[in-house]
Copies of this chain bind each other. A is one copy, B any other.
């Protein structure tokens, strides 16, 4: 038996052998290059999508072209957007874009429904992804409403665990739903405070605890 799914989704290793087999046998593996639009307003979907490799950015775009990232689907997670349109016919206006080259496993609707009905574990897995997204979205609302940009920016820098990473000010702005100039200025402030060091398309984090203080 293949072990594609359980290799990437350890939680699902607890499924019964029958259910695991059904899942592994039913899935269809697909690869897509970075930049692929996985879903956008009014797209349809043909199965339950689980992300094996890479990550997908889910974002909203405003009328005047500004963007904000709602959340990211990481390796080992499933895409609730496609789940949603699989189960209900709720409309949504978000866009999903592969940030890296990705590999996804698609579970056919019939298999998905069968597993939902027959496996408590699988059901819980699906629900947990939903629950997690809900919490994240609620946190996002809170941050966006109550927190100033400097704090959100500091948090964003901390969320990248690495001591240095490549990103443009423009991309940070899109991520936060702001504009480049504001981000550039605030980054410069952090640099003058010795928290980070700026390069072209590159940020080095020098003082994590200082950034943490700025985020709180």
**Chain B residue nearest to A80 in the complex (CB):** B134
Q: A88-B124, A88-B128, A91-B135 are contacts. A141–B141 as well, Cβ < 8 Å?
A: yes
- Within 8 Å of chain B (Cβ to Cβ): is A60? yes
Interfacial chain B residues near A113, Cβ < 8 Å? 120
- Within 8 Å of chain B (Cβ to Cβ): is A164? no
Do residues A131 and B93 form an inter-chain contact, with CB atoms below 8 A? no
- Within 8 Å of chain B (Cβ to Cβ): is A116? yes
Interfacial chain B residues near A4, Cβ < 8 Å? none
- Within 8 Å of chain B (Cβ to Cβ): is A90? yes
Within 8 A of B (CB), among A136-160: 137-142, 144-146
Interface residue count on the A side (C-beta < 8 Å): 42
Q: Can you list, as one digit per residue, whether each of A109-125 has a CB less than 8 Å from chain B (1) or not (0)?
A: 00001001110100110
Q: A123-B116, A144-B144, A177-B146 are contacts. A93–B138 as well, Cβ < 8 Å?
A: yes
Do residues B134 and A137 form an inter-chain contact, with CB atoms below 8 A? yes
Copies of this chain? 2
Within 8 A of B (CB), among A63-94: 63-64, 66, 68, 70, 80, 83-84, 87-88, 90-94
- Within 8 Å of chain B (Cβ to Cβ): is A200? no
Interfacial chain B residues near A134, Cβ < 8 Å? 80, 84, 90, 92, 130, 133-134, 137
Do residues A141 and B142 form an inter-chain contact, with CB atoms below 8 A? no
Do residues B131 and A87 form an inter-chain contact, with CB atoms below 8 A? yes
Using a CB–CB distance below 8 Å, which chain A residues touch chain B?
A: 60, 62-64, 66, 68, 70, 80, 83-84, 87-88, 90-94, 113, 116-118, 120, 123-124, 127-128, 130-135, 137-142, 144-146, 177
